[in-house]
Chain A
């Protein structure tokens, strides 16, 4: 079945450690996104990519990095510079970088600090 796969479902980070969250889609979508959701709150955009080898910062990019080497993959690295990384991380994709196509989401990765 086509969809968006995020892994792992749960992740624990030690102080000073970088961790990478995986996001893969087999929908042949051009655009991909990373959001962060804190308890009881809405989504905030971290990074987005509208085409391979290009990505843009969202509202809260500090302490995060991404790459888009392949159309189907958009991994997110949470660096040690991100001082409050505990959150629910959601990856999304959409068919076109413009237009009214909806974004479709994965099931998320829950990151916690040890």
Chain B
């Protein structure tokens, strides 16, 4: 699976959009981009995933660059409950082990 690079921490004001970047310059054509978040002492929560088109759901939007070497997770109106560690994961959809490899992630702090 391709390696990802994320900033270790970010701050965001409550009510503003949080834009979390992820670099995956070695991504290959059949690898998907997944985003999860983990609040302290809880299991990771799936947010969104995509292959090459931008995606949106009730939680967030995922913007993938045309060359697929980077992506941005957008939380349109951050709340205090969005404070968590956010993980960007790149994985082949049909990986035989189907396991997830979590890197360091970005610790997002939403402030009042």
The reply to whether B45 and A105 contact each other, CB–CB distance below 8 Å, is yes
Interface of B, helix, strand, loop or mixed by DSSP: loop
One digit per residue, 1 when the CB lies within 8 angstroms of any chain B CB and 0 when it does not, for chain A 1-19 equals 0001010000000000000
If A42-B102, A42-B103 touch, does A99 touch B44 (CB 8 Å cutoff)?
Answer: no
Bound Cα distance from A33 to B103, whole angstroms: 18
Set A45, A59, A90, A94: member contacting B43, Cβ < 8 A = A90
Flag whether B51 is at the interface (Cβ < 8 A). Answer: yes
Note all chain B residues with C-beta closer than 8 A to A104. 46
If A50-B98, A102-B34 touch, does A108 touch B42 (CB 8 Å cutoff)?
Answer: yes
If A90-B43, A102-B46, A105-B45 touch, does A43 touch B102 (CB 8 Å cutoff)?
Answer: yes
Bound Cα distance from A97 to B94, whole angstroms: 8
- Nearest-neighbour CB distance to chain B for A94, whole angstroms, equals 7
Bound Cα distance from A100 to B51, whole angstroms: 9
Total count of chain A residues near the partner, CB < 8 A: 29
The reply to whether B43 and A106 contact each other, CB–CB distance below 8 Å, is yes
- Nearest-neighbour CB distance to chain A for B11, whole angstroms, equals 20
If A105-B43, A107-B42, A107-B43 touch, does A98 touch B99 (CB 8 Å cutoff)?
Answer: no
Bound Cα distance from A94 to B102, whole angstroms: 17
CB nearest to A50 among chain B residues: B98
The reply to whether A97 and B98 contact each other, CB–CB distance below 8 Å, is yes
- Nearest-neighbour CB distance to chain A for B101, whole angstroms, equals 7
Note all chain A residues with C-beta closer than 8 A to B87. 42
Flag whether B93 is at the interface (Cβ < 8 A). Answer: yes
If A98-B93, A108-B43 touch, does A103 touch B100 (CB 8 Å cutoff)?
Answer: yes
**6 tightest A-B CB contacts, nearest first:** A105-B43, A42-B102, A100-B93, A45-B99, A98-B94, A102-B46
A residues with CB within 8 A of B: 4, 6, 31, 33, 35, 42-43, 45, 48, 50, 56, 58-59, 88, 90, 92, 94, 97-100, 102-108, 110
